[in-house]
Chains A and B, each alone.
Chain A
Amino acid sequence: MLEVSGVHTFYGNIEALRGVSVSVEKGQIVSLIGANGAGKTTLLMTICGNPRATRGSIRFEGQDITGQQTYEIVRKGIAQSPEGRRIFPRMSVMENLQMGGVTTDVAHFDKDVEKVFELFPILRNRRSQRGGTLSGGEQQMLAIGRALMSRPRLLLLDEPSLGLAPLVVKQIFDVIQNINRDGVTVLLVEQNAYHALRLAHHAYVMANGRIVLEGAGRELLANEEVRKAYLEGG
């Protein structure tokens, strides 16, 4: 479904991605783990066209999307819940969700909102509250819900567990699994390696702008190197 091959990305003179190849099969959850600064977020952003890849190609459903504008790429059926959530703080929950569905037919709106509320019941109670007044976990739910409003076939999630309490993290990952069961392919970037690998069909480990390891999620979870580096802290 998504084919990233040999992508190099630069921030000025700094090469953040040094030839990354990642493949996401339809219907899967693919996780991308790695330390700070490994290039995980950069890879997600490059898929979305900001910054652009200087070399290599990115294909989505067979179509080359490498040099396109962000807004064109996301209209093809990719949705992103960006790093740091980036909800609209002064707009209400409902308005945030409406912004998510801005590219789709208005006729679906009520149905899609209902679906988001089923995934995240707490948002229903908060629907007329301003985004900025929500708790961190609720904001993350809103960010994912907003991304789902565009009826994506591929959902890119950037660190959905960032700064959240363990209980909320578990809840979020459960929902991600539900979303995937409904037929949405998920590419998940995470620091929380345990959760990310537990539910991944396939996973990649990144370091210094390169993919250093790949395999099935359970397989990597059992891998000695991965355990040492990302799971057993210290």
Chain B
Amino acid sequence: MSEISPAEWTAILLSLRVAIVATLVATPFGIALAWLLARRDFWGKSMLDAVVHLPLVLPPVVTGYLLLLTFGRRGLVGGFLADHLGIVFAFRWTGAALACGVMSFPLLVRPMRLSIEAIDRRLEQAAETLGAAPWKVFFTVTLPLALPGVLAGMVLGFAKAIGEFGATITFVSNIPGETQTISSAIYSLIQTPDGDAAAGRLVIVSIALALGALIAAEWFARRATARLHGN
């Protein structure tokens, strides 16, 4: 198999950029939501939980279309952001990052939520009796103990984001150098008569990235267990 061409590198690097930005932006929201779902009871909690999981079960093309309606130039949110803050999502790599962030969000939140739920609340009480205000309890006890789960969620979210296809291509199309990620590049290549070799190379890159992410997530999960046992 021959070497990776500049065009393929562009798609790979764009995918990495999109997935990294999507993951980093989604993480604080993911932690906040995971904490909310794990630690608080409030009206509409199961509804919120369902909405978060929606991208997992909706056809990706539907999610992409909804993003287009909402964040497109003429969309309610998209129009406002473009006019007032100069942030444009439609047909830009930022839009691809948004689509990937939304699609990977359920996978990102889940390990975070599980690891927060697994923390012994009595440790948080102990911290409180030692003079820690609730936000300090969160940053000195809850978050450090949940850290392996948080990292596992980031890794899984990243892996999902880098492979996202349906919602991305629906929302921001398939523009080389701007919105053409590995997945959309493979899609284009297999429809091109001589694209097989190039598609094959990108397929291998995809598999390597996904496998690497899964192994990393597994490793973080094992670290989490060791950490909770205080070894």
Q: Do A and B come from one complex?
A: no
